[in-house]
Structure 1
Amino acid sequence: MTQTALIVIDVQESFRVRPNWQAVNHPDIADRVNRLVASARERGDLVVWVLHTEPGTGGAFDPANGHVRLIEGLEPRDGEPVIRKTSHNAFTTTNLQQVLTQHGIRELVISGIRTEQCCETTTRVASDLGYDVVFVTEATATTPLPHWTLPADASLDEVLADPRTLMPAVVVERTEYALAGRFATIRTLDEQAGLLVGS
């Protein structure tokens, strides 16, 4: 029985319909995730798909608007759990921990959107729950992070023009600094996708 699960977090169309997707660091996130998925399936690892939902909000994450679906090119196989969450981390509002327990999972490989938000938060919770966590930063994606005093309805141009905005490369670096050695092991996409069966 496999002890490792690949967790694919929020790689969904909801993000692609938002204006800030134009500034995403990895527009090819689906291809990057697919490399991990193919590698995980080859090793017999569990693949778990997570979708973020905000029912009743009328926004991009409201299931009623039709964007809460995996980005084109990603397709769960029969038997691969698809879990819907309403919190930032993939555990609090779902049965993810029960699914992992049923499969005897001890190690999680984290990928998805956004690097510093749902992916990082899930990693921290997973570590606190006792899982060994691998964070594949190159298989996560994020967008420029505005200063918290900027109005929520600021345009992408305003966000990019603000010198306080954190660009994705800085966000990624900070996430890696916060996680490495505390909550997770950082691996490159090549390292994780190239792992041999039984290694």
Structure 2
Amino acid sequence: MTKSALLNIDVQRSFEHKDFWQQNDLPAFSEALTRLIDGCQTRNVPVVDVFHVNAEGVFSLASGLVTPMTFLSHTPQKTVHKNVHNALLESGLDAWLREEGITHLIIAGMRTEQCCETTTRVASDIGYNVTFVTEATMTFPMTHASGEVFSTDSIKRHTELVLADRFATITDVDGALAELDRAV
């Protein structure tokens, strides 16, 4: 039987203090992530909060901003800190997941194309079955060196394109919860 865990990656107040912070997608993201967390907890799927930590700045522990965004009200089963883009290898999380017998990871959080995508790739490469819940990820527009601006929608579509059928199953919140129900 597959045992699952939800990784809630980098949904921390630090982002609210970056110059690229935009709240445009926050309402839909917070609603989707909250539904996913609640659905996982109802199904006894552990929720792991992952926080990115740097030595200095708004991502440092000293900043007081490495805390959950205010819309989150859950109690995670585990909390880890990372200082690289993936949540697994330097945080001790991989060892904990294996001790718990977890073989399936559900990925959600911030930034879609950075820490969420990187964690997905690493998780797949080290043997986990991965579900990527794009609806429960958030990112920000990015400007290419050429001046072309990539919207959050185009970034998310690109992430889905490069992860699908190679590194993860791509789905929405309802699909992820239905997948958990089928696995029982």
* TM-score, normalised with respect to structure 2: 0.91
Match of 1:125 in 2: 122
Give, in whole Å, the separation in 1 of the partners of 2:68 and 2:54.
15
The 2-side partners of 1:27 and 1:144 are apart by 16
Amino acid in structure 2 at the alignment position of 1:18: K
Q: How many correspondences in the alignment?
A: 183
2:50 corresponding residue in structure 1: 50
Matches within 5 A, 1:36-185: 36-55=36-55, 57=56, 59-77=57-75, 80-147=77-144, 149=145, 162=147, 164-185=148-169
- Cα distance in 2, alignment partners of residues 188 and 83 from structure 1: 25
RMSD value, Cα: 2.0
User: Who wins on radius of gyration, i.e. which is larger?
Assistant: 1
Tell me how far apart the structure 2 counterparts of residues 60 and 66 of structure 1 sit (CA, whole Å). Answer: 8
Where structure 2 has 5 or more consecutive residues not aligned to the other structure, the ranges are none
- Which residue identity does 1:92 align to in structure 2? L
Kindly state the Cα deviation for residue 193 of structure 1 after the two structures are TM-superposed: 3.6
Provide the rounded CA distance (Å) in 1 between the counterparts of 2:2 and 2:131: 15
Shift of 1:23: 5.8
Q: Percent identity?
A: 41
The answer as to whether partners of 2:6 and 2:45 remain within 8 angstroms in 1 is: yes
**TM-aligned CA distance change 1:191 to 1:114, over 3 Å:** same
Q: Is the contact made by 2:164 and 2:170 (CA closer than 8 Å) also made in structure 1?
A: yes
1:24: Cα distance to partner?
A: 5.0
Q: What secondary structure, in the 3-state scheme, does the structure 2 residue paired with 1:49 have?
A: strand
TM-score between the two structures when normalised by the length of structure 1: 0.84
Q: Flag as ranges the 4+ runs of structure 1 deviating above 3 A.
A: 23-28, 193-199
Q: Which stretches in structure 1 are left out of the alignment for 5+ residues?
A: 151-161
What is the distance in 2 between the residues matched to 1:69 and 1:198? 33
